[in-house]
Structure 1
Amino acid sequence: MTTIDEVRRSALPLITADDLDPLLERVGDARFVLIGEASHGTHDFYVWRSDLTRRLIEEKGFTFVGVEGDWPDCERVNQAVTGDTDPFQALYSFERWPTFMWANEEVVDFCRWLRLWNAKLPPAERCGFYGLDVYSLWDSLRAVRRYAAAHLPEQMEAVTDALHCFESYGHDPQQYGLATRLVPDTCEDEVVNLLAAVRRTAPEDLGVRQNAEIVAGAERYYRAMVRGGPDSWNVRDVHMADTLDRLASMRGPKGIVWAHNTHVGDARATDMAAAGMTNLGQLARERHGDAAVLVGFGSHRGSVVAAKRWATQHHVMPVPPARPASLEALLHEADLPGGRALFVVPPGDRPMWYDEPMGHRAIGVVYHPERERWGNYVPTVVGRRYDAFIWLEHTKALHPLHGEPWGDVEPETYPSAV
C-alpha cells in the first residue's frame, strides 16, 4: 500500500460540524482540548475551531475558552459573553497589534453565540472567555494599582514601587529589556514583592491575581527577549500553561484553548525541542497526560490576512501551494473528497505516514508568500504532535473589523510572530 493510499484510508469525511463526532469521541472525558491554527489570519480555521468549540461546550460541558490574547482585552469580552451586552464593541476595541487576531467577524460570531448560550445558564455556570498571554505589562500593572487603591490600600507601596520602577524606563517594555542588558539594575525585586503581596492578600480574586502574574511574567519575558535564544519563548508558553491551570482551578475544570499550531502541537514532535524550546501543548501533556487533547489545522493554498512588517497595516495575501515533500503537499496529493478531512490519530499501531518527519506550514502575523520555499515550515511528526488534525485544502482570509491602529503599545506575538 502506498503512502497516498494510507492517507486516504486514514481520512474521515468532514462536510458539516456533525462530522466532528469521531473527534468528540476521542476527546471523551478529557479536561483540556487545545485547538490550533496554521495561521492567525484564516477564516476557515476560525470557523471550524468555533464549530468544534460550540460542540465541546454544548455536549461535553467545557467551562471556559482561553485564547492566545491579552488578559485585560479578553476580560472585556468575558464580561460581555457572560453578561447582557453585545461583545462586538469589546472585540472592536482591541488595540494591540495585530488586532485582526481577535477583532474580526469570525470571533464576533462565536462570541455572540456564546453570550446566547450563557444567557440560558445561571451566572456561576456560564462559559468564560479569557486571555492566556504574557503581554499587556502596562495594562495589567495599572489594573493591579486600581484594585489595590480600592481594596488593598495596605499594599499600595508594593504596587507603587513596581510602577515607578517601570516608569523610569519609559512606557516601552522592549526598552526595559534592552536597558537591563546594559545595566544590571532591573525591576525584578519590585515585581516579586508586588506578586507576593497580591498572592497573600487576594488569593481568590482571579482578575487581580492574573494581572499580577502577567506583570511578573512580562518582566521575565522582556529581559529574556533581548538575550535571544529560546528563553523568551519558554517564559511565554510556561505562563500560558500556568494560566490554563489557574483557570481550571478557579473557573471550572474543563477548558478549551485557541492558539497557533506552534503553541498547541507538542514541541517534542518538531525541531523546537532540539532548540531548547517547550510549548503549551507539550506542557499540557506533561502535566495532564491523556486529559489533554491537541488538535492541529493545515491547508494547501488560498489567502490569509497578515502584514509585511511588524506593527504595520495588515493585508489579504495569497497563500501559494504547499512546497513539495511537506505534510500539506502529501494531503493535497491524496485528493481527498471535498477537499476536507478529519484525521484522528490512532493509538499504538498506525499507518506509517503519521510517524514520518515532514515539513508542516506555519504562517505568522508577518508573512512573505514569496519566501515559502525557504521558510514557514516546521519539521513535524504529525502523529506525535497532535491527537487529531483537520485538513482544509483551500482556505480564505478572515474578515478584520478595522485597520490597524497606531500607538505606543507593545505588539503581541513579538518577536516570534506566532
Structure 2
Amino acid sequence: MKTLLISLLSLLTTLATAQSIQLASLAKSAPAPIENLQPTAVTVLGEQAVTLDLENFDHFRQQIMPLIEKMATKQIVGLGEGTHGTSEFYKIRYWITKILVEEKGFNNVVFENDYADSYKLNQAIKKASATAVDTLMKQYLIAIWRNQEVKELLSWMQTHNRKSKKPVTFGGMDHMFMTNDAKIVRELTVPYRNAEMDVLTNSLVKLAVTRDSIWYSANRKDFSLADSISNRNIVQGYETAEEIHSLLPHLRLPADQHELATMMTKNIMLQLLGPFKYLTQKLSTGNRDSCMAVTATTFLRQPTDKLIIWAHDFHVAHTAIYGGAVGGTGGYIEQMRPGQYFVLGTGTATGTYAATDDHFITHASQMKSVPLDVPADTLWEGQLAKAESPAFYMDLAKWPDRTTNFTYRAVGYNPKSDKSTRDKSHPVSKLFDAYLFIRDTKAARFIK
C-alpha cells in the first residue's frame, strides 16, 4: 500500500483502539440505575436548569449565554439533534450558530452531509441570489437538511459573508457520494494535459457514477446487484483514487488547487476505506464516525479557525451507543484535539418529526411528518417531560451522577421512535457536555 493508505490506516486504527478502551472504561464506571426521578425532574438540578424562550431571539441569547461562554473556550462545538427532522432543533442551533459566529469568532459550519456536495453548495451560494437557495439545497443537501429552518441559516450566512471581513464556510464531513468529488478532481487536472491523469480521472468519474447509482437504487425493493460487481467497483474506485493521489504532486497545481484535489481524492478513499480493507485484507472495517472526525478537523487550517458541527446527537456525542456500533464522532475528535471539544445534545418527548421510509438517505428521499411515541417513565425523555418548564438546558457537568443512567431514544431519519430505538450504553452525562430539552416539538418544514 502507498504511504497515504498506511497513514490513514494508522490514524483510524489508533482512534478505534482508543475508543474501544474508552467504551470499556465507561461500561465499568457507569453508575447503577436509579428507580425514578421526582415528577418535577428539573427540581433535582435547581438553578442548574435554565429555562429557554424559543420565541424571542434576544431572550434566548440572554438565557443561553452561560453555555455560549463555555463553548467559546473550545475550538470545536458539536450541536446535536435528537431526531433528524425536528423544527425546533434546527431553529435553536441556527440561533446558537449565529451567536458563535458573530460574537465568538467561529468561522466554519460543517454538516453531516457529503463533503464534495457541501463544497459545491458553499461555492454556489456565494454568487447565488436569495431566491436560488431552494434550488441549491435540493441539489447539494440530502433530504434531512432540505427544510426552511436550514434555509434560514444559509440565507443568514449569505448576508453575513457579504458584509463580514471574516466569512463563514459551509462544509460537510460525511462520505455518502463520490461523483462530485471525482468531477472536481477531473476539472482541476484537465488543463495540465497529463495523459495518465486524464485516463485515471475519467475512470474515477465512471466508477463514482456507478457507486452513487448503487446507493440510490438500494432503496428500491426490487433492486438486486451481484456482490462481485459491487465489490469490484469498491476496489477499483479505491485503487484509482490512490493512484490519482500519488500523481497529483507531479502536476504542479497551484497550492489551493492541489489542496482541493487532494481533499476530494481523500474523501473518496475515506468512503471506500472500510469495505476496501475488508475485501483486500480481510481486516475489520473502518467505521464511518472515525472518518467523519478526520474530515471535520481538516477545516481547521489556521490556529484561529473554529468549527461548529451539525449532526445527530449520537454522532457528535463523546462516545458511541449500542455497544459501540453507532456514533461517537465526537469521541474521535476529542482524541485528535484534546480539551478542544464541547458537545450539546438535544431531545424531545412528544410531537411530530420528519422522516423517510428510505433505508439509505439521499437527495431524492421524501420526508413526511410522523408522530413521536410517547416516552415511558423509564426513558430519559419521559422523565424530563415531567419538568415544569417546556424548554430548558442543563449543564451535565453539574448533573448528579446518580440520576443519569436512564435509557434514551436514538431516533434517526426513519419513522421509528418505539422500543427498537432505545439504548442504555452510557449515562447521558458521558455522551454530552450539556443537554437542551424541548417537551413538545413539531416536524421540520421541508422544501419540496
TM-score (norm 2): 0.76
Amino acid paired to 2:419: R
CA contact under 8 A between 2:375 and 2:382: conserved in structure 1? yes
Q: Judging changes above 3 Å, is the alpha-carbon distance between structure 1 residues 56 and 152 closer, same or farther for their aligned structure 2 residues?
A: farther
Amino acid paired to 2:173: L
Where 1:267 maps in the other structure, the secondary structure is coil
- Distance in 2 separating the partners of 1:61 and 1:48: 19
> Which residue in the other structure is 2:114 paired with?
70
Question: In the alignment, which of 29, 33, 48 is matched to residue 10 of structure 1?
Answer: 48
> Which residue in the other structure is 1:288 paired with?
337
Question: In the alignment, which of 312, 326, 340 is matched to residue 391 of structure 2?
Answer: 340
Alignment of 1:396 with 2:438, yes or no, is no
Q: Judging changes above 3 Å, is the alpha-carbon distance between structure 1 residues 104 and 207 closer, same or farther for their aligned structure 2 residues?
A: farther
How far did 1:326 drift? 1.2
Residues 72-113 of structure 1: CA deviation (Å, up to 9, x unaligned): 3322431255446326145443377x52x2221111111111
CA contact under 8 A between 2:211 and 2:233: conserved in structure 1? no
> Which residue in the other structure is 2:25 paired with?
none
Q: Judging changes above 3 Å, is the alpha-carbon distance between structure 1 residues 136 and 198 closer, same or farther for their aligned structure 2 residues?
A: farther
- Distance in 2 separating the partners of 1:176 and 1:170: 13
Alignment of 1:267 with 2:319, yes or no, is yes
Amino acid paired to 1:395: T
Alignment of 1:304 with 2:353, yes or no, is yes
Alignment of 1:367 with 2:415, yes or no, is yes
Q: Judging changes above 3 Å, is the alpha-carbon distance between structure 1 residues 192 and 298 closer, same or farther for their aligned structure 2 residues?
A: same
How far did 1:136 drift? 1.5
Amino acid paired to 2:308: I
Where 1:366 maps in the other structure, the secondary structure is coil
How far did 1:2 drift? 6.0
Alignment of 1:113 with 2:164, yes or no, is no
> Which residue in the other structure is 1:135 paired with?
176
Alignment of 1:381 with 2:427, yes or no, is yes
> Which residue in the other structure is 2:308 paired with?
256
Q: Judging changes above 3 Å, is the alpha-carbon distance between structure 1 residues 278 and 373 closer, same or farther for their aligned structure 2 residues?
A: closer
The more displaced of 318-327 and 172-181 is 172-181
Residues 282-319 of structure 1: CA deviation (Å, up to 9, x unaligned): 01111112211011000011101102343653211111
Where 2:81 maps in the other structure, the secondary structure is coil
Amino acid paired to 1:397: A
How far did 1:131 drift? 1.3
> Which residue in the other structure is 1:85 paired with?
129
Q: Judging changes above 3 Å, is the alpha-carbon distance between structure 1 residues 168 and 50 closer, same or farther for their aligned structure 2 residues?
A: closer
Q: How does 1:9-408 map to 2 (within 5 A)?
A: 9-15=47-53, 16-83=60-127, 85-86=129-130, 88-94=133-139, 98-99=142-143, 101-122=144-165, 125-151=166-192, 153=194, 155-163=197-205, 171-172=213-214, 178-179=227-228, 186-187=235-236, 188-198=238-248, 201-202=252-253, 204-205=256-257, 206-221=259-274, 223=276, 234-249=286-301, 253-267=305-319, 270-273=321-324, 275=325, 279-310=328-359, 313-333=366-386, 335-337=387-389, 339-346=390-397, 350-353=399-402, 356-369=404-417, 372-377=418-423, 379-402=425-448
- Distance in 1 separating the partners of 2:45 and 2:226: 47
- Distance in 1 separating the partners of 2:139 and 2:209: 23
CA contact under 8 A between 2:149 and 2:444: conserved in structure 1? yes
Q: Judging changes above 3 Å, is the alpha-carbon distance between structure 1 residues 148 and 379 closer, same or farther for their aligned structure 2 residues?
A: same
Amino acid paired to 2:138: S
Task: Name the count of aligned residue pairs.
Answer: 386
5+ unaligned residues in a row in structure 1: which ranges?
403-418
- Distance in 1 separating the partners of 2:234 and 2:99: 50
Residues 15-43 of structure 1: CA deviation (Å, up to 9, x unaligned): 12321111112113210001010111110
TM-score (norm 1): 0.81
Residues 108-137 of structure 1: CA deviation (Å, up to 9, x unaligned): 111111111111123xx2101011111121
How far did 1:376 drift? 4.5
Q: Judging changes above 3 Å, is the alpha-carbon distance between structure 1 residues 226 and 108 closer, same or farther for their aligned structure 2 residues?
A: farther
> Which residue in the other structure is 1:406 paired with?
none
How far did 1:63 drift? 0.8
- Distance in 1 separating the partners of 2:310 and 2:227: 31
CA contact under 8 A between 1:81 and 1:115: conserved in structure 2? yes
Amino acid paired to 1:345: L
- Distance in 2 separating the partners of 1:90 and 1:345: 40
5+ unaligned residues in a row in structure 2: which ranges?
1-35, 54-59, 219-223
How far did 1:151 drift? 4.7
Where 2:352 maps in the other structure, the secondary structure is strand
Q: Judging changes above 3 Å, is the alpha-carbon distance between structure 1 residues 75 and 168 closer, same or farther for their aligned structure 2 residues?
A: closer
How far did 1:138 drift? 2.0
CA contact under 8 A between 2:81 and 2:89: conserved in structure 1? yes
Q: Judging changes above 3 Å, is the alpha-carbon distance between structure 1 residues 329 and 176 closer, same or farther for their aligned structure 2 residues?
A: same
- Distance in 2 separating the partners of 1:184 and 1:142: 17
